Amino acid sequence: MPIKRIFMAGIGVFLCSTLNICLAKEVAKTEEKSDLAKLYEKIDKHYKTVEELSGYYKYNDSDWDTISGASDNIIKLSRIIINKFSRPEDIKYEELNKAMLKEAEKMHAVAENKYEEGALEDIQWQVRKLQQTCAVCHKHLGIQVNSSDKKD
């Protein structure tokens, strides 16, 4: 009987050790996802700022500055995501993050040239292109966007 107990205790210790190692890896993954989620939340905050303005039929200088600042922040955050949280095994995810960066750069360029003819329409177009890029990525990742997150 003692050999059987020793054997069972050994199996128990082995299973606990293995479980702890697996849990530690999952915690590390969760922390990484948490940092990534925080970056996307910041992008969403800046996107919602420009989205709110996109319904205006005329912008003042302060509105243009807000759009320029928000698009600049989206550019910076997108670059961090592309460089720090790449997923080479998921080519579509990589392409969609690069598309988000590209659309934010276009938005920023339009905001910097706010006095050019058609700039208002171009900004509204870029907001929609950025939203479309986000929606395609959310669909690809299986992320359900909660409509209650929208500002009223």
Helices (H), 54-148: 61-84, 91-112, 119-141
Per-residue pLDDT tens over the stretch 10-38: 565 555 555 455 445 554 555 556 799 99
Share of the chain above pLDDT 90, in %: 67
pLDDT at 45 over 90: yes
CA dist 22 and 151 (Å) reads 40
User: Do 59 and 114 meet the contact criterion of CB atoms below 8 Å apart?
Assistant: yes
100 vs 147, residue with greater confidence: 100
Per-residue pLDDT tens over the stretch 91-113: 999 999 999 999 999 999 999 99
Query: Can you say whether the dihedral through the CA atoms of 105, 108, 113, 119 is positive or negative?
Result: positive
What is the structure's pLDDT at 44? Answer: 94
What is the structure's pLDDT at 150? Answer: 46
For 36-149, CATH number out of 1.10.1760, 1.10.3470, 1.10.60, 1.20.120 equals 1.20.120
